[in-house]
């Protein structure tokens, strides 16, 4: 595992990226030690056993190894008391009987990369990454389902695919901050663009007043929105977004 240094994306909120050997290394050559390192919850053990394609199985396990490495770097000795799990919606959570209140966490995997956003306050966070792949423009076009999004993508002459992929990561990151499942389809999330500032809106009464902080990032690919962080270290071209839904703050303070 290659864990890059974190980037402070918002106050008390850091983005971590880990890269894994895609082929014969890491969890493939030594699944026992990878499993021990991953410290899977009971729910994750079941999921890991059920995954069939070897690549998915490996990606899943590697994402948990990355989480453990990040928790260790973020929390030091406290990390030993924290269990990474997911709730009934699939939303990742940190649990502890000894340390609390605990940080917020979000996770995304694409190709051999894993992104983890961790926040020391109570603002729900969401991260999404997409490794840059040959264009899936037809599929991606569905994501620009609102007129202003279509117009924004059309204005990005010559780089529509970059705009669409960016929009995709933004919406997925917003969706992850909502901590819901089927009750809010991605079509209820729209993005307004005004002179380089983008504002997510959720067309659902539970979230209509929601406010978001947005940070886009890229590694070795073109940024289509100003203020995008260009990561200095990486392994494979990717783009992504970290989103924070701003609610009443509540800090995690290490004892």
Ligand X SMILES: CC(C)(COP(=O)(O)OP(=O)(O)OC[C@H]1O[C@@H](n2cnc3c(N)ncnc32)[C@H](O)[C@@H]1OP(=O)(O)O)[C@@H](O)C(=O)NCCC(=O)NCCS
By CB under 6 A, name the binding residues for ligand X: 60, 63, 86, 89-92, 107-109, 128, 143, 172, 175-176, 179, 181, 185-186
Beta-strand ranges (E) seen in 88-205 are 92-95, 104-110, 113-119, 125-131, 189-194, 197-202
User: Which C-beta is closer to ligand X: that of 92 or that of 200?
Assistant: 92
- Of the CA atoms within 13 Å of residue 81, those in its CB half-sphere come to 14
Host H or E run for residue 219: strand 212-219
Give the other-Cβ count within 10 Å of 246's Cβ.
14
Are 172 and 128 in contact by the 8 Å Cβ rule? The answer is yes
User: Which C-beta is closer to ligand X: that of 120 or that of 184?
Assistant: 184
| Closest residue by beta carbon to ligand X | 90
Measured torsion, CA atoms of residues 58, 73, 220, 124, in degrees rounded to the nearest 10: 90
DSSP 181: S
- Residue 186 vs residues 32, 138, 175, 229: alpha-carbon distances, Å: 38, 17, 7, 25
Q: How far is the CB of 229 from ligand X (least distance, A)?
A: 18
Q: How far is the CB of 14 from ligand X (least distance, A)?
A: 17
User: Which C-beta is closer to ligand X: that of 185 or that of 249?
Assistant: 185
Question: What is the Cα 234 distance to its own chain's centre?
Answer: 16
Q: How far is the CB of 255 from ligand X (least distance, A)?
A: 27
What's the CA angle centered on 114, arms 105 and 229, to 5 degrees?
80
User: Which C-beta is closer to ligand X: that of 17 or that of 253?
Assistant: 17
User: Which C-beta is closer to ligand X: that of 99 or that of 143?
Assistant: 143
Are 230 and 217 in contact by the 8 Å Cβ rule? The answer is yes
User: Which C-beta is closer to ligand X: that of 64 or that of 99?
Assistant: 64
User: Which C-beta is closer to ligand X: that of 25 or that of 90?
Assistant: 90
Are 63 and 107 in contact by the 8 Å Cβ rule? The answer is yes
């Amino acid at each position: 595992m290659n864990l890059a240094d974190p980037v402070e994306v918002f106050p008390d909120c850091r983005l971590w990226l880990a890269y894994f050997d895609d082929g014969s290394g890491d969890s493939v050559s030594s699944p026992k030690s990878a499993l021990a390192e991953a410290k899977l919850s009971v729910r994750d053990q079941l999921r890991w056993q059920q995954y069939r394609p070897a690549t998915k199985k490996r990606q899943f396990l590697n994402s948990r190894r990355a989480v453990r490495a990040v928790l260790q770097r973020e929390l030091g000795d406290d990390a030993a008391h924290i269990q990474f799990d997911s709730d009934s919606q699939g939303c990742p959570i940190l649990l502890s009987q000894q340390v609390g209140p605990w940080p917020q966490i979000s996770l995304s995997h694409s190709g051999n990369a894993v992104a983890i956003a961790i926040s020391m306050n109570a603002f729900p966070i969401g991260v999404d990454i997409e490794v840059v792949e040959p264009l899936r423009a037809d599929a991606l076009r569905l994501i620009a389902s609102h007129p202003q999004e279509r117009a924004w993508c059309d204005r990005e002459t010559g780089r529509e695919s970059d705009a669409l992929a960016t929009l995709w990561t933004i919406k997925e990151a917003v969706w992850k901050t909502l901590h819901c499942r089927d009750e809010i389809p991605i079509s209820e999330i729209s993005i307004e663009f005004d002179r380089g500032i983008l504002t997510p809106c959720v067309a659902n009464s539970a979230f209509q007043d929601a406010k978001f902080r947005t940070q886009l990032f890229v590694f070795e690919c073109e940024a289509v929105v100003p203020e995008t962080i260009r990561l200095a270290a990486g392994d494979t071209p990717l783009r992504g977004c970290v989103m924070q839904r701003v609610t009443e703050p509540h800090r995690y303070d290490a004892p």
